[in-house]
């Protein structure tokens, strides 16, 4: 396969976001960064099985979160609760194959499934003093700080796009995991909805965001 044929492209490539980085940054109340090439691993298993929980923690560096709508962090890895027996692991791209392979080895003989889904999803992170107002235009969740704080996550919709949203820090910063097939639509909606606040774009990064690191 030629180098051109094997090149990865962001789901938002047509919008030329890298070339627009830091556009009107000083005046913007919403700042966005796309993180398109992270590793995404869907994990299923029995949360009541101590061996399953310990095996995952040994690979990922964090136990799977058991409380609904929460996340756990282990180094650069973030584990999102999706359901009683389902989680999403987001990791730096270069770690995805290793983590998936090590999980499959550690979970042999257990009720578990490990599926790499990176090609089907991307991440957009938004921060700024108008972010909650922006998200409230299209998301039915109550994202007020009194009920949705740092390291809370939930599956919902933004406009008509299915999303997984997480509050990253107190800035506030929110990250949105969206399927590739909805990414183009979601970005078009975000640009329009954020126009009254001013939208600035930061350079793309593939590093997992943490409360300590913000949008590094």
pLDDT at 6: 55
CB atoms within 10 A of CB 8: 10
**Helices marked H in 117-167 — which ranges?**
131-136
Whether residues 22 and 48 share a domain: the answer is: no
Q: Could you tell me the CATH number of the domain that includes residue 27?
A: 3.30.1360.120
4 within some domain: no
Same domain, 43 and 150: no
What total number of domains does the chain contain?
2
Those residues whose C-beta lies under 8 Å from the C-beta of residue 22, and which sit 6 or more positions away, are: 200, 201, 202, 203
Degrees to nearest 5, angle at CA 192 with 207 and 196: 100
CA dihedral 193, 121, 213, 101 (to 10 degrees): 170
> Do 107 and 151 fall within a single domain?
no
Answer with the one of 118, 151, 167 that is the final residue of a domain. 118
| Domain-ending residue, one of 69, 102, 118 | 118
What is the span of the domain harbouring residue 54? 39-118
pTM for the full predicted model:
0.89
pLDDT of 214 = 38
pLDDT for the residue numbered 208: 55
Residues of the chain with pLDDT under 50: 1-5, 211-216
Q: How far is CA 10 from CA 58, 118, 119, 175, in A?
A: 31, 11, 10, 16
pLDDT, residue 83, reads 97
Question: What pLDDT, on the 0 to 100 scale, is given for residue 203?
Answer: 80
Q: What six digits make up the tokens of 152?
A: 């809370």
What is the per-residue pLDDT across 128-180, written as a single tens digit (0 to 9) for each?
999 999 999 999 999 999 999 999 999 999 999 999 999 999 999 999 999 99
Q: What is the pLDDT of residue 216?
A: 31
Q: What's the pLDDT at 206?
A: 53
């Amino acid at each position: 396969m030629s180098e051109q044929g094997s090149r990865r492209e962001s789901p938002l490539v047509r919008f030329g976001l890298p070339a627009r980085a830091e556009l009107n940054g000083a005046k913007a109340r919403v700042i966005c960064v796309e993180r398109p090439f992270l590793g995404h691993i869907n994990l299923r298993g029995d949360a009541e099985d101590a061996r399953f929980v310990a095996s995952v923690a040994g690979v990922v560096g964090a136990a799977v979160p058991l409380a609904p709508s929460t996340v756990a962090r282990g180094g650069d890895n973030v584990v999102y609760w999706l359901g009683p027996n389902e989680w999403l692991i987001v990791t730096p791209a270069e770690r995805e194959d290793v983590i998936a392979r090590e999980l499959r080895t550690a979970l042999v003989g257990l009720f578990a499934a490990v599926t790499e889904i990176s090609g089907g999803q991307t991440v957009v992170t938004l921060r700024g003093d108008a972010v909650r107002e922006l998200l409230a235009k299209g998301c039915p969740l109550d994202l007020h700080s009194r009920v949705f704080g740092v390291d809370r996550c939930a599956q919902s919709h933004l406009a008509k796009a299915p999303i997984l949203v997480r509050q990253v820090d107190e800035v506030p910063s929110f990250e949105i995991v969206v399927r590739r097939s909805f990414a183009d639509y979601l970005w078009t909606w975000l640009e329009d909805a954020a126009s009254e606040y001013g939208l600035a774009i930061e350079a793309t990064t593939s590093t997992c965001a943490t409360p300590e690191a913000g949008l590094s």
